[in-house]
Amino acid sequence: MGSISGQFTNTPVPGADKYYPLNDPLIGTPLPENAYPQNAKIPLLFKPLTLRGHTFKNRIWVSPMCQYSSDNGHATDWHLVHIGGFATRGVGAICMEATAVTPEGRISPQDAGLWTDSQIDPLKRIVNFVHAQGASIGVQLSHAGRKASTYAPWVHLPASKARRATQWTAEENEDGWPDDVIAPSNIAYADGYPLPKEMSKEDLQRVEEAFVAAADRAKKTGFDFLEIHAAHGYLLHNFVSPVSNTRSDIYGGSLDNRLRYPLKIVGRVRKAWADKPLFVRISATEWAEFPEHEHGEWKQWGIKQSKIYVGELKKLGVDLVDCSTGGNWSKQKIPLSPGYQVPFAAELKKTHPDIPIASVGLITEPKQAESYLQEGKADAVFLARELIRDPNFALRAAAELEVAIKPADQYERAWMHVLTPKHPEQ
Ligand SMILES: Cc1cc2nc3c(=O)[nH]c(=O)nc-3n(C[C@H](O)[C@H](O)[C@H](O)COP(=O)(O)O)c2cc1C
C-alpha cells in the first residue's frame, strides 16, 4: 500500500536561499523524551542558552580560529567548508575568526576582514548556510595592534621544518606593512616583531570608527552575535596592560585610563549592535613571571584588574565574557593542563554571577566540559583544536553523556547508536 499522497516529502528548510533538508528538531538538540527515555535528564551542554533574545541551541561552541586564508580580507570557499562542517555536526554556535576592522589591523596578510563592503557577500553565503543548518554564527572583530604584519604560523615554521623564518615580521615585499603597525605605545611584542607607532588622536578616532563600521557590516551580513577581540596581545589588550601601554594621556597610566579606550570601543559597538548578543574575549592574565600588583603599582595585567574590567563591560551591556589568557608577554610560561583557563572563568563568575562567562582552552572531553557547567564555573564552552580534530564532538558528547540528539538528516545512518531509544537503567 502506498503512502498518503504528499505526506512523505523531503521537507526543505523554509526561507533558506537554497534547498536543504529540514532537521526537526535542530541538529545538535535533544530528541523528544517520549521516544527517547534516556532524555529524561538533559546534560547542561545540551541545554539552550538565551542571551538578548537570541537562543543558542546548545552550549558547545566553536572558538574563533584564524585560517590565514582570506583573499584581501574576503572569505573564500575554504571558510564555507571549514565553518559549514561545524554547522552540519551539531555545535550550538560558531564564532568566526579574528576579523580585522582595518587593513593594518590584520595579524597576517591573509587575515579575514570586514573593513569594506565587498567583504559582506562572501560572509553572507557562509552565514546563510549555517543558518539553514540551524546553528548560530558570530564574528570576532579585531585589531591586531602591535602583533600586526606578521606571518601565518606555517609560513614562519612549515610543518616540514625544512626552513624557519628568523623573525615574525612580514616585510613590505612579503605583503606586510611593518611601518604602519600601531599600538598604544611604541613597544614591540618581542624581538623579530614590528616596532609599533604610538597611536595618535587621529589613529584612535579612525580605529574606533572602524569598529563601529565593521559592526554595521556584521549586521548587514546577518550574524547572530558579535565578539570583540580584546585578548591575546592584540590592540585592545595592548591598551589595558601596563606592559604594553605607557601612554601619558588619558589612555595610559591608571587602570581607569588603560581601560578607557577598549571601553569606549565596546560602548560604541554596543550602541551600533543593539539588538543581538555582544561578547568580549579577554585575557584574564598575561602569565608574566612578576606579580600583578606590587608596591602600589600594577605591573602586569591579571585577574584582579580583569574583575574590575568585567564589571565595566557588564555596565555597558555586554552579554557574555569569553575568558581566555595570555598573548601579551612574550616570555609567558603557561602551566598547560586540561581546562587550564577554567579557574579564571570561575573566578570571574564568582565575582560577577550576573553576567554569563564562557571558558576555553584544553577542553577536549565531553564529561570534562559538562563538569565545568555543572560546577557553575562557566555557562558555555568554546573549543578550538579538539573541534578541528573531531568536528563531531557534539555527537560524540551525546553518545558519552547518554543523551539522544539529532544528527544532520544526511548523516543519521552513521549515528544510530545515538538514535537508539534507551531506558536510563539499561
Ligand atoms: C588555528 C587556531 C587559530 C586561532 N585563532 C584565534 C582567533 O582568531 N581568535 C582568538 O581569539 N583565538 C584564536 N585561537 C585560540 C583559540 O580560539 C582557543 O582560545 C585556543 O586554541 C585554546 O583552545 P583549545 O585548547 O580548545 O584549542 C586560535 C587557535 C588555533 C588553534
Residues 6+ apart with CB under 8 A from 97: 64, 65, 66, 67, 111, 112, 140
CA angle 193-323-352, nearest 5°? 140
CA angle 48-56-347, nearest 5°? 75
Which contiguous run of DSSP H or E holds residue 132?
Answer: helix 120-132
Q: List the residue whose alpha carbon is closest to atom 15 of ligand 1.
A: 65
Q: List the residue whose alpha carbon is closest to atom 14 of ligand 1.
A: 65
User: Does ligand 1 have an atom closer than 6 angstroms to the CB of 65?
Assistant: yes
User: Does ligand 1 have an atom closer than 6 angstroms to the CB of 324?
Assistant: yes
Tell me the CATH number of domain 37-156+167-414, given options 3.40.50.720, 3.40.190.290, 3.30.70.60, 3.20.20.70: 3.20.20.70
What DSSP line would sit under 63-113, residue for residue?
PP---S--BTTB--HHHHHHHHHHHTTT-SEEEEEEEESSGGG-SSTT-EE
User: What end-to-end distance do the CA atoms of the chain give, in Å?
Assistant: 36
pLDDT of 1 > 60? The answer is no
Residues 6+ apart with CB under 8 A from 387: 62, 63, 86, 91, 393
Q: List the residue whose alpha carbon is closest to atom 22 of ligand 1.
A: 361
Residues 6+ apart with CB under 8 A from 327: 147, 231, 232, 233, 234, 237, 283, 286
Cα 325 from chain centroid (whole Å):
13
User: Does ligand 1 have an atom closer than 6 angstroms to the CB of 64?
Assistant: yes
User: Does ligand 1 have an atom closer than 6 angstroms to the CB of 228?
Assistant: no
In the chain, the amino acid numbered 3 is S
- Sign of CA pseudo-dihedral 64, 227, 87, 48: positive
At 309 the three-state DSSP class reads helix
Which atom number of ligand 1 is nearest to the Cα of residue 97? 8
Which atom number of ligand 1 is nearest to the Cα of residue 364? 26
Which atom number of ligand 1 is nearest to the Cα of residue 63? 17
At 141 the three-state DSSP class reads strand
**Ligand 1 center–CA 421 separation, angstroms:** 36
User: Does ligand 1 have an atom closer than 6 angstroms to the CB of 136?
Assistant: no
What DSSP line would sit under 263-276, residue for residue?
HHHHHHHHHHT-SS
Nearest-angstrom CA–CA distance, 227 and 270: 11
Which atom number of ligand 1 is nearest to the Cα of residue 232? 11
Task: Express each pLDDT in 82-128 by its tens digit.
Answer: 999 999 999 999 999 999 999 999 999 999 999 999 999 999 999 99
Question: Best mutation site among 60, 65, 94, 156 for ligand 1, i.e. most ligand atoms within 8 A of its Cβ?
Answer: 65
Question: Best mutation site among 61, 63, 157 for ligand 1, i.e. most ligand atoms within 8 A of its Cβ?
Answer: 63
Q: In degrees rounded to 5, what are phi and psi of residue 67? A: -110, -10
- Structure letter (DSSP) for residue 282: E
**Ligand 1 center–CA 360 separation, angstroms:** 9
Residue 56 bridge partners (DSSP) = 49
CA angle 289-307-200, nearest 5°? 75
pLDDT of 425 > 80? The answer is no
Q: How confident is the model at residue 65 (pLDDT cuts 50, 70, 90)?
A: very high
**Ligand 1 center–CA 8 separation, angstroms:** 43
Residue 30 bridge partners (DSSP) = 405
User: Does ligand 1 have an atom closer than 6 angstroms to the CB of 360?
Assistant: yes
User: Does ligand 1 have an atom closer than 6 angstroms to the CB of 155?
Assistant: no
Residue 54 bridge partners (DSSP) = 51
Q: List the residue whose alpha carbon is closest to atom 3 of ligand 1.
A: 65
Question: Best mutation site among 66, 79, 364 for ligand 1, i.e. most ligand atoms within 8 A of its Cβ?
Answer: 66
Nearest CA-CA partner of 386 in 405, 372, 369:
369
Q: Are strands 278-283 and 54-56 parallel, antiparallel or unpaired?
A: unpaired
Lowest mean pLDDT among 22-36, 159-173, 392-406: 159-173
User: Does ligand 1 have an atom closer than 6 angstroms to the CB of 96?
Assistant: no
Q: List the residue whose alpha carbon is closest to atom 10 of ligand 1.
A: 64
Q: Are 144 and 138 in contact (CB under 8 A)?
A: no
Query: Average per-residue pLDDT in the chain?
Result: 97
- Structure letter (DSSP) for residue 2: P
Mean pLDDT of 231-257: 98
Side-chain half-sphere CA neighbours of 149 within 13 A: 26
E strand spans, 144-196: 182-183
Q: List the residue whose alpha carbon is closest to atom 4 of ligand 1.
A: 65
Q: Are strands 320-324 and 297-298 parallel, antiparallel or unpaired?
A: unpaired
pLDDT of 424 > 90? The answer is no
User: Does ligand 1 have an atom closer than 6 angstroms to the CB of 110?
Assistant: no
Task: Express each pLDDT in 348-386 by its tens digit.
Answer: 999 999 999 999 999 999 999 999 999 999 999 999 999
pTM here is 0.97
Cell numbers for 229: 577581540
Nearest-angstrom CA–CA distance, 19 and 16: 7
Q: How confident is the model at residue 2 (pLDDT cuts 50, 70, 90)?
A: low
Residue 198 bridge partners (DSSP) = 183
